[in-house]
Structure 1
Amino acid sequence: MSKLTITSFDDFAKYEGEELGVSDYHTITQVQIQKFADATLDHQWIHLDQERAKTESPFGNTIAHGYLTVSLLPYLWSQIIEIKNLKMQVNYGMEELRFNQPVLVDGAIRLRAKLLSLKNLRGIAKAQIEVVMEIKDNKKPAFNGVVTFLYHFND
């Protein structure tokens, strides 16, 4: 499926209830995990100490922070859809976020997105998107949930 281009509320509304697409895979490296740990001050050994993780972790290696995978939503979302003719986009919320499976270091993830609903709030488009962060070669996703974006289209 190719990247969608949306330019208006009416254009977006055509996709209500439909899968919008799937991003490319992104590999999460130990360097990226370390940078995320430094940025968030979350230096738990299960993310950073590869030798200890090999012997003490039930996963046999370091794992990405769950919130690291969530933080990749905007990057992967931009591979699925391009919203044009905007004044502004606002991240409004996230509901029903469930972490299902850890992402091992050097694991590849991709985003699958479906437009659950689109509402017109006095000229602002409120889009609720079902998101599933899939892990390559794994039946269980890293997480799933519903994100809400507000799109302020130009007139």
Structure 2
Amino acid sequence: MTSIPLQELPEHKGKVVGQSPWKNVSQETIQAFADATGDHQWIHVDVERARKEAPWGAPVAHGFLTLSLIPQLNQQAVTITGPVATINYGMNKVRLPAAVKSGSDIRSTVELLDVQDVDDKRVLATYRTTIEIKGEDKPAVVAENLAMYVKP
């Protein structure tokens, strides 16, 4: 994991600042997400049908499940030291180029695109997070995510 002091963050603009370890996306995780969100589409939760009828030959994770793993993965990739709080400020752009099959391993690569002082207490960072699927050519997610850092 990379650790970067907030005051040094601008020096890393345009660079990859971290990469998470691999995380398995199990069928149990997919089922829990389906239960939490009410999205029980068969391509996610009907293992036998998905193996026979889905284009991937397996059940797949919800795109929003994969997207929701960005905070967990990115916290394992890079830590910004110094702020009293880090706020998920949203997304600028999200694409889901490939599905994550049940049982696949994923990881995030985090690139710092921009850093701006909002005022004397807040710094807004724009990251490009790419979630890679082990053994696959296309990523599962490419997103511009925003983090607001609050200075002490």
Q: TM-score, normalised by structure 2?
A: 0.95
State the shift of 1:7 in Å. 3.0
In the alignment, residue 146 of structure 1 is paired with which amino acid? E
In the alignment, residue 5 of structure 1 is paired with which amino acid? S
State the shift of 1:83 in Å. 2.2
State the shift of 1:74 in Å. 0.9
State the shift of 1:56 in Å. 1.2
> Is there any run of 5+ residues in structure 1 with no aligned partner, and where?
none
Deviations 1:7-30 (A, max 9, x none): 33x211111111112111101000
In the alignment, residue 110 of structure 2 is paired with which amino acid? A
Deviations 1:67-92 (A, max 9, x none): 11111111111111112322221111
Query: What is residue 108 of structure 1 aligned with on the other side?
Result: 105
Q: Tell me, in whole angstroms, the C-alpha distance in 2 between the residues paired with 1:85 and 1:19.
A: 20
Deviations 1:25-56 (A, max 9, x none): 10100000000111111111100001111111
> Is there any run of 5+ residues in structure 2 with no aligned partner, and where?
none
Q: Which of residues 4, 19, 23 is equivalent to 1:22?
A: 19
Q: Tell me, in whole angstroms, the C-alpha distance in 2 between the residues paired with 1:80 and 1:50.
A: 32
Query: What is residue 136 of structure 2 aligned with on the other side?
Result: 138
Aligned length: 151
Q: Does the 8 A contact of 2:19 with 2:78 survive in 1?
A: no
Give % identity: 36
Query: What is residue 62 of structure 1 aligned with on the other side?
Result: 59
Query: What is residue 125 of structure 1 aligned with on the other side?
Result: 123
Q: TM-score, normalised by structure 1?
A: 0.93
Query: What is residue 86 of structure 2 aligned with on the other side?
Result: 89
Q: Tell me, in whole angstroms, the C-alpha distance in 2 between the residues paired with 1:104 and 1:111.
A: 16
Query: What is residue 43 of structure 1 aligned with on the other side?
Result: 40
Query: What is residue 74 of structure 1 aligned with on the other side?
Result: 71
SS in 1 for 2:12: coil
In the alignment, residue 18 of structure 1 is paired with which amino acid? K
SS in 1 for 2:8: helix
